[in-house]
A and B are shown apart, each in its own frame.
Chain A
Amino acid sequence: MTGKIEVDGVAKVFGDPQRGFRAIDKVDLTIADGEFVCIVGPSGCGKSTLIRMFAGLEHPSEGQIQIAHDNPDRPVTAMIFQQESAFPWLTVADNAAYGLRASGTWKGAESQERVDYFLQKTGLYSFRGFRPDQLSGGMKQRLSIARAFATNPEVLLMDEPFAALDEQNKLIMQEELATLWEEFRSTVVFITHGLDEAVLLGDRVVVMSSAPGRFIHSLDIDLPRPRKSAEIRRTPEFGALTAELWDILGHEVRTARQQEADRIQAAGR
């Protein structure tokens, strides 16, 4: 096996295998160990379905996905969801520790230290005893990030983690995430709508087509690290890369819009 994640001829059909909705169509993808890969694509292109398959929440209809599990002391994946996913019945501290406890990789003081470390990194340490309903939306999402990082997975999965945040919070969180990741360099698969977000964070950006989703382009991002959001955004390279992505994606988004319009009209008849 060559990559950390090997996607081999994977297709996903919802409903009837022949006539059902084909969300993903025979895709191949290799993600290297320690690589930060962003996947962008129009709405409904199956990118969320793909990452949910990585997370073990969906199964491919065809083909297979292999994720190398190199260290049995670490869980294979931990996912950061778009929606709020902190357990309302647990305190901030227990939420952050949940991943390690649930996956059976809790190791006493060492694990507690790790949890505290990420609570500090996400600015939640002084809110340890609070419940999620007492936190703001941004804090709740930071808690999900702390939980996933504390779990110490071999692959971090993020499904549009900042989509529900306001623009200013999003900018801060992107930079915080970049800093946090540069410290650990675990493999990351990051789904996003934001082209600038993808360029800012990723080592590589993969573009998906409108449904049925296929990979149509892969763009290496050679911007130096550590990446400081404000500085990177000012560079001409950043603008050029974002524009290049939009050239490819814009066409797909228009196609997706037409598909959607056709579907709604067909349903209305």
Chain B
Amino acid sequence: MATIETIDVSRAPRKGTRRVLGMPIGLISPIVLLGLWEIAARTGAINVTFFPAPSTILATGFAQAQTAQFWGDLGISLQRIAVGLVMGAVPGVLVGLAMGLFRPVREALNPLIAALFPIPKIALLPLLLLIFGIGETSKYVTIAINVFFLMTINTFAGVVSTPKIYFEVAQNLKASRLKTYLTVALPGALPGIFTGLRICMGTALILLVAVEFSTADSGVGYRIWWAWTVFWVDTMYVGFLVIAILGLGFSYAVDFLERLVIPWHRKHER
């Protein structure tokens, strides 16, 4: 017997964010996890000495947010990241552009960068402490070196992956070298530069915490370490929370900047 294949809107895939009980599903999973954690802590199923209840952590966090020390830690940590970022990113982008545009520069630097890049930058901290002392400079430089390599490599990749045709348009019209750099190479490298920035923000946080664990007497990372020495576990968790929020914030900030500066790029990916 013949059957009828019905193709209508009921078969169309559902569009938009999946929702459970009216909430986006991405919001449900952390809420469920926190809820289970809270119940487990209150019923004694987990040891609150190591895993304090989320409500306790939040209460501690609110209390700390009233203190000058909390904001002082946050401020100095942000400053270390910001200064390290600028110190590393500006020369990184310039060297990356030069490597992308000039073959001799590329040939001279490529092996060097390939050899130095895999060294975990935190391994250099003792040396940097010898050179710059225990003050802020050694912390800036540790972060900056890491940022420099990431920005160099990603800017270089950005220039190289710019379709050749754009350079040919400039060449055909006899655009000067400087004009070609500014109107083709730099905008062409911007997507790569943003990829670099995105990775930098994540790794800068790791380095920040590592540096503050070992050689600081202030900062979010220092506060976590200090909380261990005095066994203030709640305070430790507040530190984790602050770092998580920073990481999320940086990620959103880079996304926002990217949409603002290179609106043509993301559209292609979608």
CB within 8 Å of B: which residues of A? Answer: 55-57, 75-79, 81, 83-85, 87-89, 98-99, 102-104, 131-133, 151, 157
Contacts and interface: CB of A to CB of B under 8 A. Distances in A.
B264 A57 contact: no
A85 B169 contact: yes
A77 B190 CA distance: 29
Contacts of A89: 187-188, 190, 262, 264
A230 to B, nearest CB: 33
Contacts of B268: 88, 133
23 contacts: A56-B174, A57-B171, A76-B174, A77-B172, A79-B169, A81-B165, A81-B169, A83-B165, A85-B165, A88-B264, A88-B265, A89-B264, A98-B169, A98-B173, A98-B183, A102-B175, A102-B183, A103-B173, A103-B174, A104-B176, A131-B263, A131-B264, A133-B264
Given A78-B172, A133-B267, A85 B166 contact: yes
Given A88-B264, A89-B262, A55 B165 contact: no
A53 to B, nearest CB: 11
Contacts of A55: 168, 172
Contact of A78 (B173, B187, B263, B264): B173
Contacts of B165: 81, 83-85
Contacts of B184: 87
A164 B131 CA distance: 60
Contacts of A103: 173-175
A81 B163 CA distance: 13
A132 B183 contact: no
B72 to A, nearest CB: 42
Contact of B173 (A81, A99, A131, A133): A99
B182 to A, nearest CB: 10
Chain B binding site: helix, strand, loop or mixed by DSSP? helix
B101 interface: no
Most buried by B among A81, A98, A132: A98
Given A57-B172, A81-B169, A132-B264, 12 more contacts: A55-B172, A56-B174, A78-B172, A79-B169, A87-B166, A87-B184, A88-B264, A88-B268, A98-B169, A102-B174, A103-B175, A131-B264
A102 B187 contact: no
Contacts of B122: none
B19 interface: no
Given A56-B174, A78-B173, A87 B187 contact: yes
Contacts of A157: 172
Nearest to A77: B172
Contacts of B267: 133
B170 interface: yes
Interface residues of B, number: 23
Given A87-B184, A98-B183, A133-B268, A151 B262 contact: no
Contacts of B172: 55-57, 77-79, 157
A225 B184 CA distance: 39
> What are the 7 A-B residue pairs with the smallest beta carbon separation, nearest first?
A102-B175, A89-B187, A88-B264, A102-B173, A55-B172, A79-B172, A103-B173
Given A75-B173, A103-B174, A57 B168 contact: yes
Nearest to A76: B174
A79 B168 CA distance: 9
B259 interface: no
B179 interface: yes
A56 B169 CA distance: 10
Contacts of A88: 264-265, 268
Nearest to B265: A88
B164 to A, nearest CB: 10
Nearest to A99: B173
A102 B173 CA distance: 7
Interface string B142-155: 00000000000000
Given A81-B168, A87-B166, A98-B183, A151 B264 contact: no
Contacts of B265: 88
A99 B187 CA distance: 17
B110 to A, nearest CB: 25
B14 to A, nearest CB: 28
Nearest to B168: A57
A156 B136 CA distance: 60
